[in-house]
Amino acid sequence: MNDTGEGTMRRARRIGVIAGLIVAVAALSGCSSSSDSSSAADAGYGGDAQQGAPAADGAAANESGGGEPATDRSIIITGAMYMTVDDPIASADRATGIVQNAGGRIDARSETAPDEHYGGSASLTMRIPSNRLDAVVDDLRKLGTVDQFSTDSYDVTTEVADLEAQISTLRASTDRIQALLIEAEDISDIITLENELARRQAELQSLEARQRGLDDQVSMSTIDLSLTTEPVVVVDDSPETFWDGLVSGWDGLVAFLSGALVILGVILPWAALGGLIFLSVTAVVRARKSRIARRTARSDTTEATSAGA
């Protein structure tokens, strides 16, 4: 009995030990798989981070790179240039040639002829291709001295984009109305669709005209060129003191005498000729009177002789 009980207890202890070993092995296996899983997860996370780092660096490089923006900017450039030149009219002709050779045009031109007090002037409103503006300005600087030059820039990129979107939407709407008009059969529907189509077409034409105007302003910069000469300096030489008055009077007297001598030199030959003519006429008249007097004396003598006889 005792042997049997002891054997049962030993078997129970063996079973307990085996069960404990099984549980311990199972626990160790779970911990090992858990560690492997977390290690794998950590390895995967680290790998993703390492692979993602170059991509992030590449994105940062793309953002910080010096490449051009995704969309072109629409810039309107206007300006004014004031220059002093020797001959404004001739310089205006040269400026016109420079602009036209660059593919531009002259929208307005005005000129003022020179006179004794003013050297004349010319002004031009030039339309220059925006991509040739710097080169044309450099050529214009060679015409004379640049007194002032300034430009202003206006960014109309948003306005251009909005206008394009409006035009695109309106064109699509117009096309839909045209399609409906083709399928319409009722006269009232046709009239309504035609009126709506006309209204939208007019609006579309107005938007397209604005778009062409913006495109022209963006593609062709506007520069106003003013050409003038050096101002004529008027010196006020009126006398301010007694000595200045005396000197001025003496200079006036000398100038008058010089002018009188010049006039006398011009008149003298004519006066000499007139004197010769006068003397000749006087001599002829006197000779004639003398002959008449002698004839009269002879007549009187003859009559007196006849009466004495």
Q: Taking Cα atoms as reference points, which of 149, 134, 124 lies closest to residue 225?
A: 124
Query: CA-CA distance, 223 to 140, in Å (whole number)?
Result: 11
Q: What is the pLDDT of residues 129-143, one digit of tens each?
A: 999 999 999 999 999
Q: Taking Cα atoms as reference points, which of 129, 140, 132 lies closest to residue 98?
A: 140
Residue 238 vs residue 276, higher pLDDT: 276
Would the pTM count as exceeding 0.75? no
106 phi/psi in degrees, rounded to 5: -110, 115
> Is the torsion defined by CA of 27, 31, 33, 37 positive or negative?
positive
Residue 280 vs residue 224, higher pLDDT: 224
- Confidence band (pLDDT; 50, 70, 90) for 309? low
Query: CA-CA distance, 90 to 162, in Å (whole number)?
Result: 45
Query: CA-CA distance, 178 to 172, in Å (whole number)?
Result: 10
**DSSP code at position 131:** G
Query: CA-CA distance, 122 to 147, in Å (whole number)?
Result: 15
88-101 vs 133-141: helix crossing angle, rounded to 10:
160
| Owner of token pair 């404990």 | 20
- Structure confidence at residue 234 (pLDDT): 55
Answer yes or no: is pLDDT of 195 > 80: yes
Buried b (16+ CB within 10 A) or exposed e, 70-88: eeeebebbebebbbbbebb
Helix residue ranges, H only, the chain: 2-64, 88-101, 133-141, 157-183, 187-219, 242-308
Answer yes or no: is pLDDT of 61 > 60: no
- Confidence band (pLDDT; 50, 70, 90) for 305? confident
Q: Taking Cα atoms as reference points, which of 241, 54, 212, 223 lies closest to residue 151?
A: 223
- Percentage of the residues of the chain whose pLDDT score is greater than 90: 41
